[in-house]
A and B are shown apart, each in its own frame.
Chain A
């Protein structure tokens, strides 16, 4: 088992996909573009196909959140704060958060339409991966 985890970690490092964007297995779509994920997490769009999406962010300043912000949202934390200050005036709040990857995963497993990101090493067949970064 240890060898399997080690091999999976090495494979993910080699492929460059350190994190996975995950959704419930019940949703019909199977792959998204980074632009679609960006629009969902910036609260610009709320649907993929016919499915309403609930984006779930990671609480705090974890490096996974920084990687998500720079790679998918294409903004650093300062620029993102400017964005959310402007959105506050428009009556839009940032996505809600969960305190850990485990709670994001449990939430995504059980709430159809929710979307979060976790280290790829935590992904198993209880969730569906729609993007890797």
Chain B
């Protein structure tokens, strides 16, 4: 009888979430948490100054049952833009599908993610939004060398008998879902990515893969990444080398990487420096970029950042400022 009563008490005690914390979404119930983010940018180059409301996004996710969960995200990129040099205003308020996937969790070693998702390669690509980054700009490594999104299947999980080694085996053999913001449209993309947590401060990993673009460019890539992060310092390094064969039968390789250091002066204030290199032998585009920036976060999900970039291509030097919020 007592057992029945305590059972009743347990079931009648409603599990609850912590009260709302900015940046962690609004928890409605297990099946639905909603949130979103936006970012604004101001760019000043030698020839022009531009203000942009760059990203506006809403997202929803939840667990439909103990095995199946989902995430959906709609985003408008280039929501509004004003060029102060010419006076031109432009923008698109149309929302597109940024991510739309389901997760079928079978065990920690075997989870299947299917749908449109972020390609599980490295650090920068997996936390790509302004508010989660420590600089307004993205290194060229993260934009030009591999598809940032995958519309396909990612089988992932912990590797058995290891403490913190995680794998992703992913593939796409179809058209991208909503191609509007796809950096490299393709119908063939396969890869394997491994990450290992060496300690609470150190982790590292690497990826290999292949994609064929809609313009018939076949590219094979190898990538590596390492991160150190304690309460004061963070060091990130990522690099990739690609070998491509183009539709005109020419072959060429590209190499790119960056090293970024961040010193957290306090929890709210940080200085960031980054050195990056990009060299695409096919397009003959080679650049070395130095970035120095400052990041202020009154609360972690509210980010104000300023930076200056020096390019070896001198007309690309620029100031960038941004304000972004995750809610």
Question: Is A56 interfacial (CB 8 A cutoff)?
Answer: yes
Question: Is A3 interfacial (CB 8 A cutoff)?
Answer: no
Q: Are A96 and B16 in contact, CB atoms less than 8 angstroms apart?
A: yes
Query: For the side of the interface on A, what is the size category?
Result: 20 to 34
Contacting residues, chain B, for A96 (C-beta < 8 A): 15-17
Interface centre among A74, A79, A85, by most chain B C-beta atoms within 10 angstroms, is A85
Contacting residues, chain A, for B18 (C-beta < 8 A): 57, 59, 94, 97
Question: Is B9 interfacial (CB 8 A cutoff)?
Answer: yes
Question: Is A86 interfacial (CB 8 A cutoff)?
Answer: yes
Q: Are A89 and B17 in contact, CB atoms less than 8 angstroms apart?
A: no
Distance to closest chain B CB from A84 (angstroms): 5
Q: Are A91 and B10 in contact, CB atoms less than 8 angstroms apart?
A: no
Question: Is B208 interfacial (CB 8 A cutoff)?
Answer: no
From the candidates A86, A103, A107, A109, name the one contacting B132 in the complex (CB within 8 A): A86
Question: Is A78 interfacial (CB 8 A cutoff)?
Answer: yes
Distance of A109 Cα from B132 Cα, bound (Å) = 39
* Stretch among B21-29, B44-52, B87-95, B184-192 lining the A interface: B21-29
Contacting residues, chain A, for B300 (C-beta < 8 A): 78, 81-82, 85
Query: For the side of the interface on B, what is the size category?
Result: 35 or more
- Residues 268-305 of B, flagged 1 when their CB comes within 8 A of A and 0 if not, give 00000000000000000000000000000000110000
Contacting residues, chain B, for A71 (C-beta < 8 A): none
Q: Are B21 and A81 in contact, CB atoms less than 8 angstroms apart?
A: yes
Contacting residues, chain A, for B59 (C-beta < 8 A): 89, 91
The A-contacting residues of B in range 119-133, CB under 8 angstroms, are: 127, 129, 132
Distance of A96 Cα from B16 Cα, bound (Å) = 6
From the candidates A85, A98, A110, A111, name the one contacting B301 in the complex (CB within 8 A): A85
Q: Are B66 and A52 in contact, CB atoms less than 8 angstroms apart?
A: yes
The residue in chain B whose Cβ has the minimal distance to the Cβ of A75 is: B200
Q: Are A98 and B15 in contact, CB atoms less than 8 angstroms apart?
A: yes
Distance of A99 Cα from B37 Cα, bound (Å) = 30
Distance of A110 Cα from B163 Cα, bound (Å) = 30
Question: Is B217 interfacial (CB 8 A cutoff)?
Answer: no
Distance to closest chain B CB from A45 (angstroms): 5
Contacting residues, chain A, for B1 (C-beta < 8 A): none
Contacting residues, chain A, for B21 (C-beta < 8 A): 81, 84
Contacting residues, chain B, for A111 (C-beta < 8 A): 10
Distance to closest chain B CB from A111 (angstroms): 6
Contacting residues, chain B, for A74 (C-beta < 8 A): 200
Q: Are B231 and A97 in contact, CB atoms less than 8 angstroms apart?
A: no
The A-contacting residues of B in range 61-109, CB under 8 angstroms, are: 61, 66, 69, 71, 105, 107-108
Question: Is B308 interfacial (CB 8 A cutoff)?
Answer: no
- Residues 1-12 of B, flagged 1 when their CB comes within 8 A of A and 0 if not, give 000001101110
Distance to closest chain A CB from B18 (angstroms): 6
Distance of A56 Cα from B16 Cα, bound (Å) = 10
Distance to closest chain A CB from B145 (angstroms): 23
Contacting residues, chain A, for B127 (C-beta < 8 A): 86, 89
Distance to closest chain B CB from A94 (angstroms): 6
Contacting residues, chain B, for A110 (C-beta < 8 A): 6-7, 9-11
Question: Is B317 interfacial (CB 8 A cutoff)?
Answer: no
